[in-house]
Amino acid sequence: MARLKVAVLISGRGSNLQALIDECARPGSAAEIVLVLSNAPDAAGLDRAAAAGIPTATVDHRDFDGRAPFEAAVNGALDVAGAGLVCLAGFMRLLTAAFVERWRDRLVNIHPSLLPAYKGLNTHARALADGVRLTGCTVHFVRSDMDAGPIVVQGCVPVLPGDDEAALAARVLKMEHRAYPLALRLIAEGRVRVANERVEIDGAGSPAGAMLNPTDDSCAGA
């Protein structure tokens, strides 16, 4: 069976990219990263990709007059690479509805909250201000509405007494590095489908996305 060809879009250091690289290097992985693309020429994640022998590309948004021509250039690079799935990993550009629709159910993102809670920015500060006991991260298929779309995997972490934004962000990021590779694995193995805007996972105990908790590597459907 051919491996799923994956492109990863980044803007910065690429820590989630590294987690995806490690997943694709796992023996028997059903996915391979064929392109890492950044809108920022100085993104550290490009060096991570190059060190792993993965082709890279830069499409600097500042070189284009508007989002449409920028996205046309991105799409061109994705098409040349033969990407079948696009993973957003700290890609700090808003995507148009046309781009999202072109890649419908083939475009995934990771967000540092348990969606639908805390969409947008400043997720950790808002969680702390609300006094929640649990937060986490969500891998989801992208839709044109911000931080919306069918949920593939969620990872849950506690909010501890004395946490500040930095401590909580570090704990959530550690969970992101587990959740994103799991989501990629499930998708690449053909175990994920979207029905009525909900994810169903073959082999799961219920028709829902998978859940990771802080101490157990098991999850529904994994």
Domain with 211 in it: 108-222
pLDDT more than 70, % of the chain: 94
On whether both 64 and 152 belong to a single domain, the answer is no
Q: Which of 111, 124, 140, 177 is catalytic?
A: 111
Mean pLDDT of 18-25: 98
On whether both 133 and 98 belong to a single domain, the answer is no
On whether both 168 and 99 belong to a single domain, the answer is no
On whether both 59 and 41 belong to a single domain, the answer is yes
On whether both 135 and 181 belong to a single domain, the answer is yes
Q: What is the pLDDT of residue 96?
A: 97
Q: Which two tokens stand for residue 214?
A: 């802080």
On whether both 47 and 132 belong to a single domain, the answer is no
Q: Are 141 and 196 in contact (CB under 8 A)?
A: no
On whether both 122 and 185 belong to a single domain, the answer is yes
Question: What CATH number should be reported for the domain holding residue 134?
Answer: 3.40.50.170
On whether both 132 and 194 belong to a single domain, the answer is yes
Say if residue 219's pLDDT is above 70.
Answer: no
Q: Which two tokens stand for residue 213?
A: 């908790």
Count: domains in the chain:
2
Last residue of a domain, one of 46, 73, 103: 103
Say if residue 218's pLDDT is above 60.
Answer: no
On whether both 127 and 30 belong to a single domain, the answer is no
On whether both 134 and 222 belong to a single domain, the answer is yes
Q: Are 66 and 37 in contact (CB under 8 A)?
A: no
The 3-state secondary structure of the chain, one letter per residue: CCCEEEEEEECCCCHHHHHHHHHHCCCCCCEEEEEEEECCCCCHHHHHHHHCCCCEEECCHHHCCCHHHHHHHHHHHHHHHCCCEEEECCCCCCCCHHHHHHCCCCEEEEECCCCCCCCCCCHHHHHHHHCCCEEEEEEEECCCCCCCCCEEEEEEEECCCCCCHHHHHHHHHHHHHHHHHHHHHHHHCCCEEEECCEEEECCCCCCCCEEECCCCCCCCCC
Q: Which two tokens stand for residue 65?
A: 């007059």
- pLDDT tens digits along 151-181: 999 999 999 999 999 999 999 999 999 999 9
On whether both 113 and 98 belong to a single domain, the answer is no
Last residue of a domain, one of 103, 118, 137: 103
Last residue of a domain, one of 80, 103, 126: 103
Judge whether 61 counts as a catalytic residue. Answer: no
On whether both 90 and 196 belong to a single domain, the answer is no
